[in-house]
Chain A
Amino acid sequence: MALKISVMSKDDGVVILCLVGSLDTETHTELEVRGRKELDKSPKGMILDFKSLDYISSMGISALLLLQKQAQVRGVSLVVTNIPPQIDEVFKIVKALPQESIFASMEEADRYLLGIQKKIKEDQQ
């Protein structure tokens, strides 16, 4: 199955990547390429919206971990949200992603990233 990624930039500098389809051996490079492209634009944060993601394989998880690593290097907070039950099940078994980067809804993810940004500003002051 194919993977479509649509990108939406918010006013607060956070970029949302909506994944549709399947993140697996055939499609994981699309996330890697697109994600890296968006990270190169230095967003304030990145949200991966899994609402329309049907399937994730171990290679898909690898791609996610790679993107997370790249985001960390660039100082960008990367979170995942709206995880469907079947994918949530995989995450629970594999425990590859830290719990603090997984959110049940977009609002929660937004709040978290806003909090991060506020903290960074305060630290800078």
Chain B
Amino acid sequence: MKKFFPYFLVVLWLIFIVISVCAGIFEFQEMLAYDFLLRHRPTQQVNPEIVIIEISDDTLKGLGRWPLPRDYHADLIEILSKNGCRSIVFDILFSEPSGADVRLELAMKESGRVYLPFAFRLENKRGEAVAQEVLGGVTDTLKSAVYGVGHINIFVDNDGKSRRLPLWVKRNDQSWPALGFLAAAHYLGKEPASIAVPFDLRTGIWVNYPGAWLKTFRHFSYLDIIQSAAAAKKGEVPRLELSLFRNKICFIGLTAAGTSDFRANPVDPVYPMVGTQASICNSILQGAYIRRLGNFLRVLINFMLFFIGLWLALKLAPLVAFACSFLLAAGYIFTAQVLFNIRGVFYDIFFPVSSLIFVYSGVLLVKFFREVQARRLMEKELEIAAQIQRNFLPADLGDLGELKLRLFLQPAKFVGGDFYDVILLDEHRFGIFIADVSGKGISAALIMAKAISLLRILARDALDPGKLLSVLSSHLKSDLDSRFITGQYLIIDLRDYSFIGASAGHPPLIFLSRGSGRIEELIPASGPPLGLVDNFSYTVVKGQFLPGDKIFMYTDGWIEARDSQGKEFGALRLKEVLSRLTDQGIDNLLAALKQAYEAHRARALQHDDLTAVILERK
């Protein structure tokens, strides 16, 4: 069951991907990503035949409050028509009758190229945009004069932005095209229904805003046109050359500040609605559409990114996987932007990239917990190994004749390479061995196990410390490769408390004389460590224990102990500490030495195994 759990999670996530895409769970986030693409796209080329005639602040100042008297609109139609304008598209609702409607109707009839808008209250029925009622339309007087009528409805997303509009609105078995769409179709000499436009019945058409309002389309002031015509009539030089409106599609709309005909969109926080219709018109004329990939492809892309992310997280080391995932995400976003810029195609960004982050984090977390578990297991095994290793070593034997013996070992890790042994050779003699395997940890501990076993076999036969070291070294040579063991062997005769010893690469022992109060180093290394050479003759050194004398045998963990600044305890300091303890018992000596060591090490980690064998003649 546990084995299949990861697969179950993967399947669960795949199902979640399908549901998320189809149900649009992350639609809001994907729309933000869509906005990012649109904003970072270069400003698009607009058809030069499309112009915007703005009823802006200057117009309202010059001609009066909004709504403008319809005589002005009649004037505008006459001026534009006289100057060869192709289409005059009002993004202004003429829902209520007015006194000037007769004049306006006449102007529209004479022009024969005027478009007016409808606005509906919409209901999405079975995916289609269906008009429940007319919110604003065309008066009966003007209906007969208008050339075309289109709707100006838009879809507003939850964040208040307008990204799409219904290309068609159905009402009473009649379908009304969007105003800009209608104007474009007629400009092309076609009916709207004959133009293949990629749109979704449910979601409409994505408005291909060419760019920020002021950076796109040619903008003209309504007031300037009226005044230019008046000036031309008077024979004065007009502000605007009105012939430039020849063959143009003129969109007329309210853009004065503080008026309500604005809506936020991805490229502008405040975008006039007349611009939306102009953008649709431009999109049709340029054949430049924005398309969203279908659900199937979106799910496929999500699956692909998920599996690639999963593979990276599972197969690669965490940092490498992170770098690759980051590059993958960056590449994915970059590709999305390029595809959008070139082809107008967009697909999900937020969810696939989030999925990538999620799968990386998830796998990393699982790996981390597995590591923690493995580490705990390892620590348990090491504790067992440490116990086994401690069992190898002799227990504190207490007193041997007049000699007191203390044995101390503190590994740097759970297990280590330092060891000691006490071997009873006969009723009068015993040997003391102290050794240090090169390196630390498990490998040193394994070598230690072999060495101590060999030592116990060989020690009983070789009474000469030098000979023992030589034979032991030869036996170990083939097994140690380039590793080695420093070792010191002492044989003590309890009849006269004399001792003989030899050292193979091991630090000399420290002899503390009670009588003189002096300390000296005895039995220095007379040859290389064990395991390096065959049949080496190690020099044997003799000595004598007097009552009160002490011997301190140790491994280099003491002198190489480092403080937090990396400074070593050092051989000199060791001798200095010991020299102050010549009249102390070995228990006090050991305690004082440990205290000095701990004070030196303070918070630094124990660097090496710490071993000591201390003997005192009572």
Contact = CB atoms under 8 A, between A and B. Distances in A.
A47 interface: no
Interface string A94-115: 1110000000000000000000
A71 to B, nearest CB: 12
B525 A61 contact: no
Nearest to B483: A62
B482 A58 contact: no
A57 interface: yes
A59 B412 CA distance: 15
B227 to A, nearest CB: 81
B175 interface: no
Contacts of B438: 58-59, 61-62
A63 B482 contact: yes
A1 B438 CA distance: 19
A79 to B, nearest CB: 17
B481 interface: yes
A65 B505 contact: no
Nearest to B438: A58
Interface residues of B, number: 26
B484 A58 contact: yes
A58 B527 CA distance: 16
A96 to B, nearest CB: 5
A69 B560 CA distance: 27
B528 interface: yes
A1 B528 CA distance: 27
A61 B481 CA distance: 13
B411 interface: no
A95 B482 contact: no
Interface string B486-527: 100000000000000000011110000000000000001111
Given A1-B566, A58-B438, A93-B525, A65 B482 contact: yes
A66 interface: yes
Interface string B530-564: 00100000000000000000000000100010000
Contact of B505 (A57, A69, A96): A96
Given A58-B484, A63-B482, A69-B482, A95 B528 contact: yes
B484 A96 contact: yes
A96 B532 contact: yes
Interface in B429-446: 436-440
Contact of A62 (B439, B556, B608): B439
A11 B566 CA distance: 39
Contacts of A89: 571
B275 interface: no
B505 A95 contact: yes
A98 B506 CA distance: 16
Contacts of B560: 57
Which range contains the number of A residues in contact with the other chain?
10 to 19
A93 B507 contact: yes
Contacts of A65: 482, 484, 532
A25 interface: yes
Interface string B400-413: 00000000000000
B529 interface: yes
Contacts of A57: 560, 608
A59 B439 contact: yes
A71 B136 CA distance: 97
Given A1-B566, A69-B482, A94 B524 contact: no
A62 B484 contact: yes
B482 A62 contact: yes
B42 to A, nearest CB: 50
A32 B438 CA distance: 16
Interface string A59-103: 101110110010000000000000000000100011110000000
Nearest to A54: B566
B562 to A, nearest CB: 9
Nearest to B571: A89
Interface string B196-229: 0000000000000000000000000000000000
Contact of B529 (A25, A59, A66, A94): A94
Interface string B340-368: 00000000000000000000000000000
B482 A66 contact: yes
A95 to B, nearest CB: 5
28 contacts: A1-B566, A57-B560, A58-B484, A59-B438, A61-B438, A62-B482, A62-B483, A63-B482, A65-B482, A65-B484, A66-B481, A66-B482, A69-B482, A93-B506, A93-B507, A93-B525, A93-B556, A94-B486, A94-B505, A94-B529, A95-B505, A95-B525, A95-B526, A95-B527, A95-B528, A95-B529, A96-B505, A96-B528
Interface of B: 436-440, 481-484, 486, 505-508, 524-529, 532, 556, 560, 566, 571, 608
Given A58-B436, A93-B507, A96-B529, 10 more contacts: A25-B439, A25-B440, A58-B484, A62-B439, A65-B482, A66-B481, A66-B482, A93-B508, A94-B505, A95-B529
Interface of A: 1, 25, 57-59, 61-63, 65-66, 69, 89, 93-96
